[in-house]
Amino acid sequence: MKIAIVTGGASGIGRAIATSLVARGDTVIVSDIDTAGAEAVADRLNTLGRGKAHAAPLDVTDAAAVTRLYQDVHNDHGRLDLVFNNAGISIGGLAEELTLDHWHRAVDINLMGVVHGVHAAYPLMLEQRSGHIVNTASLAGLVPMPMGIPYTATKHAVVGLSLGLRAEAAAKGVKVSVVCPGFVDTPLLANVNKDLPHTTLSGDSREAIRKQAGGFYSAERLADDIMLGIRRNKALIVAPALGRAAWRGARLNPAAAVRMAAIGVWRHRRDQRHG
């Protein structure tokens, strides 16, 4: 039985991860800025009759709050085995449509939220000489992903942070992995640019994104991939297979990957003109 924290656990990928952990008998702290959502998830997971779930309110942009929660969980249980720095938001729109508000929100949540989680968890795991930090990035952190470059930039940063930390942590008994999913059907896609200035990809953009992506992957299947990746201590957990193919293609021929992305932008602009 392991002790785990999942940020962004009230929905989507975080909820699916928490469900997988409880199903195998772990104790999970489901944290989210959506307190009621986190409590609802924890209540449901506690009906499974296997592991245990506890809800905790958490705004990952508040470094002190993140540190306090991680330290409290460590103190209460005597250890902290798994940390999933998963909370994030979706930012969409062409570069000319974006304001600094879009950029600041993306950096504050998608990047600094992970930084705060790492900063809180890593010292605890160094002290116990064990533990696994799992950061959620995106396929957008591995390939050129237009029409939301604040999101893309922060996910590239999370990949770099994770791989660099993995190299530092290896000799200290601490493991680090980064999850890079393709398009997953989660509430994130229904809340693009929530409370931010409107762009052509604001609001519920699932259908527009589905056209570009060719379909979605389920959060539950991704959670299975993540659990397997953790067992194998993989540095990069990339899913689904189509995402892995895109990643390999971008590595082999970066210029072609940019050209393919440019075609997607052209189609988006065309659809907007004729929409």
**Cα dist from 202 to 48, 63, 107, whole Å:** 37, 28, 18
Q: Which residues contact residue 50 at a Cβ distance below 8 angstroms, ignoring those fewer than 6 apart?
A: 22, 23, 24, 25
- Give the tens place of pLDDT for each residue, 75-103: 999 999 999 999 999 999 999 999 999 99
Return the ∠ at Cα 239 (arms to 111 and 258), rounded to 5°: 70
Contact 114, 161 (CB under 8 A): yes
The residue from 70, 122, 151, 217 that is catalytic is 151
Structural domain of 258:
3-274
Whether residue 133 is predicted with pLDDT greater than 80 in this model: the reply is yes
Tens-place pLDDT, residues 217-263: 899 999 999 999 999 999 999 999 999 999 999 999 999 999 999 99
Domain count, the chain: 1
In the annotation, is 151 catalytic?
yes
CATH number, domain containing residue 126: 3.40.50.720
Count of CB atoms within 10 A of residue 69's CB?
Answer: 21
C-alpha distances in Å from residue 131, one per residue of 66, 79, 128, 173, 209: 17, 9, 8, 7, 36
User: In which band, very low, low, confident or very high, does the pLDDT at 195 lie, cut at 50, 70 and 90?
Assistant: confident
Residue 112 backbone zone (phi > 0: left; psi -120 to 50: alpha; other: beta):
alpha
What is the spatial distance between Cα 207 and Cα 200, in angstroms, rounded to a whole number? 13
User: Contacts for 259-262 with beta carbons within 8 Å, 24 or more apart?
Assistant: 261/143, 261/144, 261/145, 261/146, 262/146
Three-state SS for 217?
strand
